[in-house]
Amino acid sequence: MYLKITGIPYLQPSGLAITSEDIANYLKNNDLFEGTTLAAKPRVIKASPKSDMAIIWVDIWDSQNSSKAKTLINHSFNFSRYIATFRGTSMNLGVPQCHNCWKWGHTTFPCKVHGSKCQKCRGPHKIKNHRDFVWCCKANFKLNPPRLETKQGKPCPHTFKYVNYKGDHMADDTKCPFWKHRFNRE
């Protein structure tokens, strides 16, 4: 049974990010968690790029009717000087990424952006139409030196700043440091 813990700071007083081992040790020594066994190590993810808070996913061994999880859900506890709360959650440990605007934190359905954004340049077109709609792939002989057209069938060689991490890669690139950080991937 998966639970989510909110209200815990991402950075410890030492300035280091909180680790799954820190959370596991704290829960092991907390009376509220007595008699509960972790099925996997907790997953710690920063709530958002500019947030100082963490979201922790905890997978616990529980009975068929989830009796232990039901007693923990919506229960608050002290974590240092903070008040943390257990929340029920689904098995999906990921943070949603919208395939419309390519930002993290919401899915495509509730997105407020009208139309699609390109994963490469965030222009108002789909990635498959990138070459046809952007200035960077079109010839411009007035420039010094002149810019040649990107050949048909060749990928756009130009770099852009990615909306979430400001790196020079596409929004859905799994090699993105932001993506790795959000999912604690190596």
Q: Which residue did the predictor score with more confidence, 33 or 89?
A: 33
What is the model's pLDDT at position 101? 82
Is the pLDDT higher at 144 or at 35? 144
* pLDDT value, residue 185: 43
The alpha carbon of residue 155 and the mean position of all alpha carbons in its chain are separated, in whole angstroms, by 27
What's the mean pLDDT in 21-45?
86
Q: Tell me, what amino acid is at 16?
A: L
Q: Give me the DSSP letters along 80-130.
A: TTEEEEEEE--S--SPPB-TTT--BSS-STT---SS---TTT--SS-GGGH
pLDDT for 179 equals: 55
Residue 8's pLDDT band, with cuts at 50, 70 and 90, is very high
Q: Give the separation between CA 81 and CA 69, rounded to whole angstroms.
A: 24
pLDDT tops 50 at residue 186: no
Q: What's the pTM?
A: 0.49
The architecture CATH gives domain 2-88: 2-Layer Sandwich (3.30)
Give dist(CA 38, CA 28) in Å, integer: 9
- Given pLDDT bands bounded at 50, 70 and 90, which one contains residue 7? very high
- Residue-level pLDDT at 10: 92
Going from N- to C-terminal start, the domains of the chain cover 2-88, 95-186
Of 120 and 57, the one with more pLDDT: 57
- The tens digit of pLDDT for each residue in 129-181 reads 887 888 888 888 888 888 888 888 787 877 766 555 556 667 666 666 555 55
Q: 46 by DSSP, 3-state: which? A: strand
- pLDDT, one tens digit per residue, over 36-87 is 888 888 888 888 878 899 989 888 887 556 777 788 888 888 888 899 998 8
